Amino acid sequence: MALLEDLFKLEGAAGATALGVGALLLAPTILPAVGRMLRPVAKELVKTGMLAYDEAHGAVSEAYDAASDLVAEARAERAGEGSGVERPRRTSDRARHGRDGHAAGHGAG
């Protein structure tokens, strides 16, 4: 016991070094016991993470499918509307074809 009492009386770097060496000597006997106790906790954390991942993956997959359906419906409606509606001309089209829509320089003559 005197050794233990002397260890706690050490101050500064000598005390810290003594405690560090003691911890290193005890680590091989303490760490496996701590590891055995923490293994079930770690396993539950992994299982919970896997469950959360699966739930998130399912939700994202459903959202992707819904968005894909919306895009497909919008494209189908756009294609159906495009056949009867004339698209407005751009400024470059007007300059190329003149105001009345006929090609410039090609008129009745």
Taking the whole predicted model, whether its pTM rises above 0.85 is answered as no
pLDDT of residue 48: 95
For residue 22, what are the contacts with CB-CB under 8 A and spacing of at least 6?
Answer: 7
Residue 102 predicted with pLDDT over 70? no
pLDDT of residue 109: 46
Distances in Å between the Cα of 32 and the Cα atoms of 17, 24, 38, 45 are 23, 13, 10, 19
**Mean pLDDT across the chain:** 76
For residue 98, what are the contacts with CB-CB under 8 A and spacing of at least 6?
Answer: 104
First-last CA distance in the chain: 123
Q: Residues 34, 23: contact at Cβ < 8 Å?
A: no
Structure confidence at residue 47 as a pLDDT band (50, 70, 90)? very high
pLDDT of residue 98: 55
pLDDT of residue 29: 80
